[in-house]
A and B are shown apart, each in its own frame.
Chain A
Amino acid sequence: MTVAPSKPTRITNRIRVLRFGHDEMTQAQLAEHIGVTRQTVIAIEQGRYSPSLEVAFQIAQVFGVPLDEVFQYPDGSTGQ
């Protein structure tokens, strides 16, 4: 399951699913792990903010999965 982007980015993510798969980790706990505010985690989850590559890797590390298991980009979107 992926979270559909509600706008300005076409990047989708599975952060919500991964959080629930990790002992129902809260947004606040994830925010603390990666050093951002809870509001930023919410914005990333809802597709309202594309995180920097560094933050994206930090999120993937928290869940112990490769980056592309957290974030996806639709095929055929290059150059659009």
Chain B
Amino acid sequence: MAVFLKLSPVLIDKKPELITGKFLSQPLPIKPFSLINQYQEDFNKEDLQNKWSILFFGYTNCPDVCPTTIYKLSEIQKKIAQKKELNDQLQVILITLDPKRDSVTRLREYLAFFGPSLIGLTGNDSEISKITSNLSVYFEQVGKGDQYDFNHTASIFLIGPEGTVIASFSPASQSQELSQDILNIIQ
């Protein structure tokens, strides 16, 4: 009995094995930030609580990795939304690294293409820097004029209902594996 009681905390806290992602050693709290979504509504760290959130940083002029990832995440969101008990429990959020070109109008038009429920966030440079610094997201503008691109951290972050980052996934993850990992965590 004593042995069982000693083992119980380990059994209760056991996390699922992830195929393609990794849990953070400690959940990372989100620090205060103030952005707006594609409908010009305020969005801050309180909006990350009481539901699961998948967070990705990118920009709408990205031709390859960003649209590939956003498409993948939108499909995962649709799949999870089909499960009645999880419906509305997961939000997928793109935070732009390019607020100069990614206006609310552009974000609205861009994300509507991938699905009706995706959230796009923009704001001024200092507010975006608050959350990129918080999550150690690197980004660097490459090129000049109107046709610049970004090198940037392309990790996919999973934020729990407590509003803390609990896991991250590679953007190179296969859709099926990413979907399974996320489902295993949030179910």
Chain A complexes with chain B:
no
Residues of B within 8 A of A (CB): none
Residues of A within 8 A of B (CB): none
